[in-house]
Amino acid sequence: MDAAEANSRAWDMEAENGSAWARIAGEDEIDAARRGNPGIRVTIDRNVPLSWISALRGKHVLVLGGAGGQQTPVIAAYGCRTECADISRVMLERDREALERYGLEAALHMMDMRDLSAFPERSFDGIVSPVSLNFVSDAEAVYREAARILRPGGIYILGVANPALYIFDDRLLASGRMKIKYTIPFSDEKSLSSKELRRRIAKGDTVEYSHTLEDILGGLCRCGFSITGFFTDGTSFEPVDSFLHDCYLAIRAVRADD
C-alpha cells in the first residue's frame, strides 16, 4: 500500500471515529458566513482574519484537502462558487451531509492533492487548504498544482505543521512526556523502520512528513507565490504548547501575475 492509499484509509477511519476535523459546521457558523463573517480555520484553533478571505466572496474557491463538513459549507455559505478536493471518501461524505443540511451547493472530488489535472489551468480565484501538506512527501508538487490552477493574483491560504513538532517520540508524547527522538526533516517512510511503518499503517495511522521551513516557505516562492500573511497557532495540547508556541503555521500567499 502506498502512502496516499494509506492516508485515504486513515482519514476515512478518522472521520468515522469522530475526528474534530470531521465535525459538521453548526448552524451558527453557517449563519455567520452568510452574514459575511466566515469562520475559516486552516490550523487547529484560530480562524484566519477576514481580510485574508474577503476578496474571495463570490469567487471560485477550491477547498484542498479540507473536507469534513466544515470549511466547504462555510465557504459556500459565504457566497463562493465552491469545490472541494480530498483523498478521503468519508470526509467528502461529511461535506455532502453538511451541504444538504444547509441547502448549499459545492462540487466534491476525491483526488490526490498532488495531481489536480482534472482542473483546467487558471480555473480558481482562491484555494483554502487546512493542515494537509504534512500528508504528502513533496510539498512543491502541491504548490506547482496550486499555481497552475490559480488565476494570476489568486489567493492561496494554507496551514502546515511546524517541522519541530516531529522531533518528539509520539508514543510518549500522547501521555504528555516529551522526549526528542527524530531528526528533521522527518518522514514516516524514512525515519521509521519498515516494520514500524507497516504496523502503523495496519493500525490506521496516517503517513506523515515534516518538510523543512525552506521547503514550506521557500517552495512557495519558487513556485511563483508571494507571502502576504502569516500567523501561528497551538495544538490545544498543553504539554506541547508550553514547549513550542508556534506549533502550526498559517500562510496567505498570492500567485504572481504573469
**What's residue 162's pLDDT?**
96
Q: How far apart are CA 254 and CA 151, in angstroms?
A: 10
Give the global pTM.
0.96
In the sheet with 60-64, reading across from the earlier edge strand, the strands are 107-110, 81-86, 60-64, 124-129, 150-161, 248-255, 225-233
pLDDT digits (tens, 9 = 90+) for 59-98: 999 999 999 999 999 999 999 999 999 999 999 999 999 9
Strands 60-64 and 225-233 come out as unpaired
180 pLDDT more than 70: yes
Answer with the residue of higher pLDDT: 169 or 82: 82
Structure-block grid coordinates of residue 71: 470549511
258 pLDDT more than 70: no
User: Which residues neighbour 145 within 8 Å (Cβ) at sequence distance 6 or greater?
Assistant: 113, 114, 115, 116
DSSP string, 106-155: -EEEE--TT--TTSPTT-EEEEEE-S-GGGSS-HHHHHHHHHHHEEEEEE
CATH topology classification for 3-255: Rossmann fold (3.40.50)
Rounded to whole angstroms, what are the CA distances from 181 to 118, 170, 244?
40, 9, 16
CB distance 200 to 170 below 8 Å? no
**What's residue 247's pLDDT?**
94
Stretch (H or E) spanning 227: strand 225-233
C-alpha torsion 2→108→135→94, nearest 10: -100
Residue 111 identity (one-letter amino acid) = M
Is residue 1 very low, low, confident or very high in pLDDT (cuts 50, 70, 90)? low
3-state secondary structure of 98: helix
